[in-house]
Chain A
Amino acid sequence: MNPSPVSASVLGAVSSRTARERFVRVVVTAAGGVSILTTIGIVVVLVWESVGFFRRVSPVEFLTGTEWTPLFQPQHFGVLPLLAGSILVAVIAALIAIPLGLGSAIYLSEYAPRRVRAVIKPTLEVLAGIPTVVYGYFALTFITPLLRHFIPGLGIFNALAAGLVVGVMVLPLIASLSEDAMFAVPRELRQGGYALGGTKFEVATRVVTPAALSGIVASFILAISRAIGETMAVVLAAGMTPNLTFDPRQSIQTMTAYIVQVSLGDTPFGSIEYQSIFAVGLLLFMVTLAMNVFGRWFLRRYREEYA
């Protein structure tokens, strides 16, 4: 009976086991690194091509110019019309989504009987999952013709219809994040409100809503950021006319819509039109990133209060 082959095979098994453990660790760590690589990739690509763009167009002209005519002569690269277009759509969307979303959140969190809630919550989730190109179709073929009955002079492409559907699109985000925030308000606060003689309405609006305020505000910021980044609905419904206006009846162009317009055309790599989508993309990325970081900072602050 020689024990050495046995112990050798055990040792072999153990060392192959540790080798495998090490291998797995490397693999999963690499997978975790993919997200970092993605971010680095986005930043490098946007900055790299934008540098090429800003060699030809001064950043001052880009950020302060009021004319955006890159696709015909004379070319002007003032991004303000695109920025104004994005802001206009986001403002209309916010005017729809904030009251409706907040109302839905208060109803779901404070009033809804279990059965009603079981219908409304999943429906809002479906609403959030509808592809944006479908919303674009809806705006173009249903909302705009409907609005044209009431608003004379409304174009086939207009910022209003686009803003309305984008509002519907981001409404579920506000409803669900705000409801989470209200749900996290401790019961003791509500009971305190009732003990002071408050009605349900007073407790909901003067105790729960203020207590959840930072979560609610965070949901607004995140929703507006999503509205600014929204693309296909805006491309279909708001048109392709860079227009420095805040008149919602007019056709406008957003930053996202411009990027799509250029990629639909036959723009050669390396041309200034091609580079301009990276400059606009960089601006879009910075605006949405700043809003997201700010929004989530708000959320975290509120979590620390009650968790």
Chain B
Amino acid sequence: MAEARAALDLQLSTPPDLIRRRRIGRVFELVCLVTAVGGVAVLAVLLADVIVDGAGWLNRTFFTRPPSRIPTRAGILPALAGTIWLMSLVALISFPLGVAAAVYLEEYAQKGWLQTIIQTNIANLAGVPSIVYGILGLAVFVRWMGGLTGGRSVLSGALTISLLILPVLIIAAQEAIRAVPNSIRDASYGLGATKWQTVRHHVLPNALPGILTGTILALSRAIGETAPLIMIGALTFIAFTPDGPRDAFTVLPIQIFNWASRPQDDFRHLAAAAIIVLLVLLLSMNALAIWLRNRYQKEW
């Protein structure tokens, strides 16, 4: 009797096919876990591959010399200098423009067709392939405005890359501005402040950490951009560092491309070493952004 009761209980609590269905579920969970870990594994292999290939080439010569036909004498000085020049100019151009555009969209623009058009347009621009920005930069900054920008110069490159990252930067800045609660704005208006005083003294300071985080992430995307800069003619072989914004230049990713596309092993190793430098720069920017976000994140 008791045995029959137990058997009945078992049957009630676990219908026979439930065991099978649960087993399928466990297998599925495992498969999903494997796919999720797959991405992590690829990243690990990629980093290991680059470090194994390139770490041995990171020496003094590498950081202080221009590229050379002889691999052991080749270095990344002009490329590193070009990258620093480019990124500084991009930050100077894109940060004020992006923040101003975000302020316009969040604080000034009337809800209506114009705002909708600008917003949709920004979202679409974020999806335009980077090489198309290169074509734009080539035609506008190198050719039409060549007299002002110096043609194939670091300034043309910076303007092109700035346009490229603006959509990302604007969207990030908008989110940061939107996160500032309206009570802050109301309090400011209540004390008689004008719109600009409210924005400048209350909205922007509170949104700043979020804006900076978004800006740094956008810049970390820009630091690896290659194709648009090849388009505007950043030279692949130059032995000098730029002295001004109208000078010719090259950047780390282009140097990497140049070395990687040569068949000799030694040049590939140089490319790997330059990739290590690029990734260190990029990952430290990401780390800085994450630190900023965690340090200054506010709960309203």
**Within the assembled complex, what's the spacing in Å between the Cα atoms of A289 and B286?**
29
Inter-chain contact B46/A285, CB cutoff 8 Å = no
Chain A binding surface, main DSSP class: helix
Asked if B56 is at the interface (CB within 8 A of a chain A CB), the reply is no
6 closest cross-chain pairs (CB), A and B = A131-B224, A229-B129, A103-B35, A201-B25, A31-B100, A107-B32
Residue of B nearest to A28 (CB): B104
Q: In chain B, residues 162-185, which have Cβ atoms closer than 8 Å to a Cβ of chain A? A: 163, 166-167, 170
**Within the assembled complex, what's the spacing in Å between the Cα atoms of A167 and B166?**
26
Asked if B157 is at the interface (CB within 8 A of a chain A CB), the reply is no
Q: Which residues of A contact B34 (CB under 8 A)?
A: 103
Inter-chain contact A137/B272, CB cutoff 8 Å = yes
Asked if B231 is at the interface (CB within 8 A of a chain A CB), the reply is yes
Stretch at the interface among A61-69, A118-126, A188-196, A241-249: A118-126
Asked if A1 is at the interface (CB within 8 A of a chain B CB), the reply is no
Assuming the contacts A103-B32, A126-B283, asked whether A260 and B39 have C-beta atoms less than 8 A apart, the reply is no
List 6 extra interface pairs beyond A38-B163, A134-B275, A141-B49, CB under 8 A.
Answer: A35-B167, A106-B32, A131-B223, A131-B225, A285-B132, A288-B132
Min distance, Cβ A181 to any Cβ of chain B, angstroms = 16
**Within the assembled complex, what's the spacing in Å between the Cα atoms of A24 and B19?**
68
Asked if B279 is at the interface (CB within 8 A of a chain A CB), the reply is yes
Chain B binding surface, main DSSP class: helix
Most chain A CB within 10 A, of B33, B97, B121, B127, is at B127
Residues of A within 8 A of B (CB): 17-18, 20-21, 24-25, 27-36, 38-39, 41-42, 45-46, 48-49, 99-104, 106-108, 110-112, 119-120, 122-124, 126-127, 129-138, 140-142, 168, 171-172, 175, 199-202, 204-205, 222, 225-226, 228-232, 235-236, 256, 259-260, 263-264, 269, 277-278, 281, 284-285, 288-289, 292-293, 296
Q: Which residues of B contact A204 (CB under 8 A)?
A: 28
**Within the assembled complex, what's the spacing in Å between the Cα atoms of A37 and B233?**
23
**Within the assembled complex, what's the spacing in Å between the Cα atoms of A168 and B42?**
8
Inter-chain contact B194/A133, CB cutoff 8 Å = no
Inter-chain contact B286/A138, CB cutoff 8 Å = no
Inter-chain contact A232/B39, CB cutoff 8 Å = no
Q: Which residues of B contact A32 (CB under 8 A)?
A: 100-101, 104-105, 109, 118
The total of interchain contacts (Cβ-Cβ below 8 angstroms) comes to 266
Asked if B278 is at the interface (CB within 8 A of a chain A CB), the reply is yes
Q: Which residues of A contact B278 (CB under 8 A)?
A: 131, 134
**Within the assembled complex, what's the spacing in Å between the Cα atoms of A256 and B128?**
12
Inter-chain contact A126/B108, CB cutoff 8 Å = no
**Within the assembled complex, what's the spacing in Å between the Cα atoms of A22 and B139?**
34
Inter-chain contact B46/A38, CB cutoff 8 Å = no
**Within the assembled complex, what's the spacing in Å between the Cα atoms of A137 and B272?**
8
Q: Which residues of B contact A278 (CB under 8 A)?
A: 135, 139
**Within the assembled complex, what's the spacing in Å between the Cα atoms of A45 and B32?**
45
**Within the assembled complex, what's the spacing in Å between the Cα atoms of A227 and B256?**
21
Inter-chain contact A260/B121, CB cutoff 8 Å = no
Residue of A nearest to B221 (CB): A129
**Within the assembled complex, what's the spacing in Å between the Cα atoms of A107 and B39?**
13
Residue of B nearest to A256 (CB): B131
Inter-chain contact B257/A236, CB cutoff 8 Å = yes
Q: Which residues of A contact B134 (CB under 8 A)?
A: 259, 263
Q: Which residues of B contact A135 (CB under 8 A)?
A: 46
Assuming the contacts A137-B272, A175-B39, asked whether A256 and B125 have C-beta atoms less than 8 A apart, the reply is no
Q: Which residues of A contact B123 (CB under 8 A)?
A: 296
Interface bits B93-113 vs A (CB < 8 Å: 1, else 0) = 000111011011101110000
Asked if B226 is at the interface (CB within 8 A of a chain A CB), the reply is yes
Residue of B nearest to A122 (CB): B290
- The 8 Å CB contact of A260, one of B97, B170, B231, B253, is B231
Inter-chain contact B135/A29, CB cutoff 8 Å = no
Inter-chain contact A142/B45, CB cutoff 8 Å = yes
